[in-house]
Amino acid sequence: MNVRRHVPAVSGVLSVIALALVFAAALRVIPDWLLPRAPDAVIHAIPHVNAVVSVTAIATIVVGVRAVRRGDIARHRQAMLATTGLFAVFLVAYLYRVALEGPTAFPGPAAVERFVYYPVLGIHILLAIVCVPLVIYTLLLALTHSVAELPETRHPTVGKAAASLWLVSFVLGTVVYLMLYVVFPG
């Protein structure tokens, strides 16, 4: 199959597969026996490692956006590929932990949970879900077209939206982490 000629379709298929895996892990429908159990210290370290990964991804998105605005396409490409790798590391680690342990309960006051934590978490999750197909589509365009051809594709338009939403999602994910582990440690 020529991916270049079918970027929307391939993006759609990959997005469905990726989101199915995300929901399977989040809803804990993946059987425990399918996942090797890491030592408890590793499982408990995942949120803290993921916080570092998220902050690093925020930086790489900002570097990538600034680079493309200055016309430094090579740096933009490096930064966005780094962000994609960081996102993959984050997602695999997060979903592994959630599939085994379930979601982390909010340890703070009920009013903060209801009026701050859940809205922030909800927006973060919604943006993360929306970002998956946008990022996959933008990435496939970048990987299947030359730099000279990209301005003639939807890469610049979709890429702007994807980078913006991705950035906000990572920031809100970091806020969720801070609420769970720093502001209201359990």
Minimal CA–CA distance to 170: which of 53, 27, 76? 53
Rounded to an integer, what distance in angstroms lies between the CA atom of residue 22 and that of residue 87?
A: 13
Write out the CATH class of domain 3-183: mainly alpha
Per-residue pLDDT of the chain (186 residues; tens, 9 = 90+): 799 999 999 999 999 999 999 999 999 999 888 999 999 999 999 999 999 999 999 999 999 999 999 999 999 999 999 999 999 999 999 999 999 999 999 999 999 999 999 999 999 999 999 999 999 999 999 999 999 999 999 999 999 999 999 999 999 999 999 999 999 997
CA atoms of 57 and 10, how far apart (whole Å): 25
pTM of the model as a whole: 0.94
